[in-house]
Amino acid sequence: MDFTLNTEQQLLSDSVARFIQTEYDFETRAKSVGSGDQRRASRWDTFAANGWLAAAVPGDLGGWGGTAVETAVISQQLGRALFAGPWLGSAVLATQVLIASGNQALIREWLPLLCDGSRRLALAYSEQGARGIAHIVETRATKDGATHRISGRKTLVLGGLGVDAFIVSARSDGAINDRNGVGLFLVAADAAGLSMTATKLHDGTEAADLAFEEVPATVISSNAADGLDGLEYGLSHAMLALCAELVGCMERSIEITAEYLRTRKQFGVPIGSFQSLQHRMADMVAEMELARSMLFAALASFENDDVATHRRVLDGAKTLITTAARNVCGQGIQLHGGIGMTEECAIGHYFKRAVVADALFGSSSLHEAACAAALQDELRAVHA
């Protein structure tokens, strides 16, 4: 199987790499994270002008007609730079959930504005105690004439600061953990009864916590109780983007560490000449390449397999890649020694991102358990 990029994908990767080299180095990122104004510092207009916001939007809806592969190509390059803007939360997660919702009127109204960067959406699905599981929803939607009213709380809304509206998952029927009864709703960011609290994550990126008190909302899904499939599709797409980002993080961590080992001297020689450190670097590279292979498998499954299969493969990918990223970036700190723990040294920030990424969309242990359960179900079906 050929995993090389085609001409268009390589050009896409090169364009993002040039942006990082010229406009988003480590110092620029540090300033944007410190200022708390990550949207402006993320050069969102550049993303729109280069077509990156439209890369995975269907061609008949004004996009490039790309797939999750194009999203992964961009995300991998952004991972190398520890990009702190709202790419994952807005350009990937919210956009893909909107597309998967099937609401053609809202899709055609919003997608051109999302692609040209003039508007942004964020997805509010995560709740306290839900561990990132999409169908565990306590937030309620009640019918109120021609509209609905949303009441409840959402946490960890990625890219939620400065958006124009939120896509919100809310339950119109059933118990808190029922797979049925969950709908998707559009809520204006300035809607009455909606309050937002900004929060900064361990890696310096921003998110929002939302509180809804009888907030007016428009149904996005075909009805108020069937939005889970679209929500889970968007989350799968975003998890692939996150996995690709972590591969980029590992690549750059290894490069930074290798350069440090070449320049740091002990006993009159570069410490990179010590065989034990060479072996540790080799282990880091091997673990990164295994993670890259798992990313390729997950991308192929997402495009070609049935839903149950691609979810199982993606569960495995999230587990393996986030674990590998923590190990590789953590080893980078160890090989730097004490300086690797300082704010001025880039390597520690890659480890912080790996730790945060593990918690996003469900932890690696959660996905490992889901993958194991799916494999057991398949074995039972074979031997039944």
**Contact in structure between 99 and 92 (CB atoms under 8 Å):** no
Is residue 2, in this structure, part of any structural domain at all? no
What CATH number does the domain containing 159 carry?
Answer: 2.40.110.10
Same domain, 256 and 185: no
CA distance 151 to 141: 7
- What is the chain's mean pLDDT, rounded? 93
The pLDDT, as a whole number, for residue 1 is 57
Tell me: do 49 and 34 sit in the same domain: yes
Do 198 and 318 belong together in one domain? no
In this structure, what CATH number is given to the domain that contains residue 375? 1.20.140.10
Total domains present in the chain: 3
| Cα 264 to Cα 27, 49, 50, 180, 269, distances in angstroms | 22, 41, 39, 58, 8
> What one-letter code names the amino acid at 69?
V
* Residue 15 counted as domain residue: yes
Instruction: Assess whether 148 and 79 both reside in one domain.
Output: no
Domain identity same for 266 and 290: yes
Enumerate residue ranges in the chain where pLDDT < 70.
1-2, 34-42
| CB-CB contact of 163 with 98 (8 Å) | no
Q: What is the pLDDT of residue 326?
A: 98
Whether 36 is covered by a domain: the verdict is yes
168 within some domain: yes
CA dist 266 and 123 (Å) reads: 50
Query: Among 76, 94, 119, which residue terminates a domain?
Result: 119
3-class DSSP state for residue 132? coil
Q: Which long-range contacts (CB under 8 A, 24 or more apart) does 43-47 make?
A: 43/19, 43/85, 44/85, 44/86, 44/117, 44/120, 45/117, 46/19, 47/87, 47/91, 47/117
Q: Which of 205, 225, 245 lies at the terminal end of a domain, its last residue? A: 225
DSSP bridge partners of 200:
206
User: Which CATH number does the domain housing residue 74 bear?
Assistant: 1.10.540.10
Phi, psi of 265 (to 5 degrees): -110, 145
Same domain, yes or no: 337 and 326: yes
What is the span of the domain harbouring residue 160? 122-225
Closest CA relative to residue 119, chosen from 216, 195, 39: 39
Q: Are residues 110 and 182 in the same domain?
A: no
The whole-number pLDDT of residue 140 equals 97
Give the CA distances from residue 370 to residues 175, 263, 301, 320, 381, in Å, rounded to whole numbers and listed in that order: 21, 44, 17, 13, 17
Q: Which of 225, 250, 277 represents a domain boundary (last residue)?
A: 225
* Residue whose pair of structure tokens reads 């049925």 in the numeric block: 180
Does residue 254 sit in the same domain as residue 362? yes
Residues 369 and 240 in one domain: yes
User: What local confidence, expressed as pLDDT, does residue 41 receive?
Assistant: 47
133 and 186 inside one domain: yes
Residue 206 lies in a domain: yes
Q: Tell me: do 130 and 42 sit in the same domain.
A: no
- Residue 1: inside a domain: no
CA distance 350 to 344: 12
Residue 258: what pLDDT? 96
Tell me whether residue 108 is in a domain: yes
CA dist 77 and 62 (Å) reads: 24
* 64 & 175 share domain: no
**Confidence at residue 222, expressed as pLDDT on a 0 to 100 scale:** 76
